């Protein structure tokens, strides 16, 4: 058995809570690893938290200005040779299908840090990421390591609904972020990929706290139920509208933007039922994508919905934002969506979609100034590459 297969098998055979212990022992045996540490990205994607028993064995690592942070941000390995000890520390991104989970830091003897060994370690990081996602169904170890502070109950509910924070395929890349990460209550996003379509859903439940989280949970569960039953976008909107109205009889509603992209052609279908909006960056120019506004889900009984169509081109970047982003006003009264959002899209055009939401939210904080945010903020960035023949 070769060493890669041996380590991968050790991961598969390990108990869900003991993945890191199994990995340390196996990498020491087969690669000569001296130290092995796993750092998980926190909910705000600002720090990398060590996996281990509380209190954590090491301090959190900032994403900015550190070698592990640079590996996480760039999604490329970072090597740090130590001439005094004759060792090399490799910081390797742990990512599964575009979903960035964290960084694995491995210290090897200098002679063991060959290109072949580093290539195998990168593949093992992907295997580790898959095992972590499976283990999350059975243990809280890795979920605990993702939080720098305690989540509110509403935020706990919202984060458990998410499919991830980034995703990629041959035709697209996308990334998203919610703020305030540890106290979000109404905003949420969802996506699903099939052989033919990418479906993206952005929701914003009215209200605050647990009430908003429960409302969003109901709407998103109804949308997923309709999608998994094979209904089109209109059918999904209608079923979710009936579910929300049936529960609240018009006293509460959910703003939703439903999108389905045909992967082969870039043809996009949309149902705009509320406040999330779209901006497009094409050829260096930013412009809002105008859609016909329809009623939010649950306002009235038997609300009709209609699909609109437009096409996206290879090289397009779409940015989706909730009203907690574009409606935020500066001290002078200028709303972020008027000019600042377009400037933020232009200034971040060279960043990958997984990094854009955090950068845009940082620009939003500077635009807002001192007063704390009084609403959720949701940003989702989608790069369209198109299908190559």
Question: In the prediction, which pLDDT does 54 show?
Answer: 62
Residues 110-138 have pLDDT tens digits of: 998 999 999 999 999 999 999 999 999 99
Spatial separation of the C-alpha atoms in residues 260 and 316, rounded to whole Å: 16
Closest C-alpha to 174, from 117, 100, 265: 100
The model scores a pTM over 0.85: yes
Residues 280-292 have pLDDT tens digits of: 999 999 999 999 9
Question: In the prediction, which pLDDT does 1 show?
Answer: 73
Spatial separation of the C-alpha atoms in residues 268 and 296, rounded to whole Å: 20
Question: In the prediction, which pLDDT does 5 show?
Answer: 97
Spatial separation of the C-alpha atoms in residues 168 and 367, rounded to whole Å: 30
pLDDT < 70 stretches in the chain:
54-58
Q: Across the strands, what pairs with 321?
A: 277, 379
Per DSSP, 315 falls in state T
Question: What is the H or E stretch that residue 257 is in?
Answer: strand 254-262
Question: In the prediction, which pLDDT does 56 show?
Answer: 57
Angle of helix 209-228 versus helix 153-161 axis, rounded to 10 = 10
Spatial separation of the C-alpha atoms in residues 360 and 157, rounded to whole Å: 24
CB-based contact 363:379 (threshold 8 Å): no
Spatial separation of the C-alpha atoms in residues 71 and 106, rounded to whole Å: 13
Question: In the prediction, which pLDDT does 55 show?
Answer: 60
Spatial separation of the C-alpha atoms in residues 147 and 164, rounded to whole Å: 15
Question: In the prediction, which pLDDT does 370 show?
Answer: 80
- The domains located in the chain, with CATH, are 3-146 (3.30.450.40), 153-384 (3.60.40.10)
CB atoms within 10 A of CB 13: 10
Question: In the prediction, which pLDDT does 29 show?
Answer: 97
Residues near 88 by beta carbon (within 8 Å), at least 6 away in sequence: 79, 80, 81, 82, 107, 108, 109, 110, 112, 113
């Amino acid at each position: 058995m070769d060493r890669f297969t041996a380590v991968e098998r050790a991961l598969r055979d390990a108990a869900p809570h003991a993945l890191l212990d199994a990995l340390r022992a196996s990498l020491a045996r087969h690669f000569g690893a001296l130290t092995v540490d796993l750092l998980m990205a926190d909910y705000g994607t600002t720090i990398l938290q060590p996996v281990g028993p509380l209190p954590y064995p090491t301090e959190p690592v900032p994403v900015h200005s550190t070698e592990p942070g640079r590996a996480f941000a760039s999604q490329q390995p970072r090597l740090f040779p130590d001439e005094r000890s004759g060792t090399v520390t490799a910081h390797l991104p742990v990512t599964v299908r575009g979903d960035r989970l964290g960084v694995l830091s491995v210290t090897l003897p200098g002679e063991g840090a060959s290109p072949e060994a580093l290539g195998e370690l990168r593949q093992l990081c992907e295997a580790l990421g898959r095992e972590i996602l499976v283990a999350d169904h059975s243990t809280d170890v890795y979920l605990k390591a993702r939080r720098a502070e305690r989540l509110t109950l509403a935020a706990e509910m919202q984060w458990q609904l998410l499919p991830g924070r980034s995703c990629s395929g041959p035709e697209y890349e996308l990334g998203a972020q919610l703020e305030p990460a540890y106290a979000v209550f109404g905003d949420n996003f969802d996506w699903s990929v099939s052989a033919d379509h990418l479906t993206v859903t952005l929701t914003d439940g009215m209200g605050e706290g647990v009430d908003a989280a429960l409302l969003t949970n109901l709407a998103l569960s109804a949308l997923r139920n309709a999608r998994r039953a094979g209904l089109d976008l209109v059918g999904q909107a209608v079923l979710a509208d009936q579910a929300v109205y049936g529960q609240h009889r018009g006293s509460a509603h959910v703003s939703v933007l439903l999108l389905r992209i045909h992967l082969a052609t870039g043809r996009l279908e949309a149902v705009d039922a509320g406040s999330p909006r779209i901006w497009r960056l094409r050829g260096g120019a930013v412009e809002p994508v105008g859609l016909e506004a329809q009623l939010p889900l649950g306002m009235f009984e038997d609300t009709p919905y209609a699909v609109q169509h437009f096409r996206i081109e290879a090289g397009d970047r779409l940015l989706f934002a909730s009203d907690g982003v574009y409606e935020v006003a500066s001290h002078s009264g200028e709303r972020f969506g008027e000019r600042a959002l377009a400037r933020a899209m232009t200034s971040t055009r060279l960043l990958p979609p997984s990094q854009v939401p955090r950068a845009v939210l940082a620009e939003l904080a500077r635009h807002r100034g001192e007063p704390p945010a009084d609403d959720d903020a949701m940003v989702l960035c989608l790069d369209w590459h198109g299908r190559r023949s």
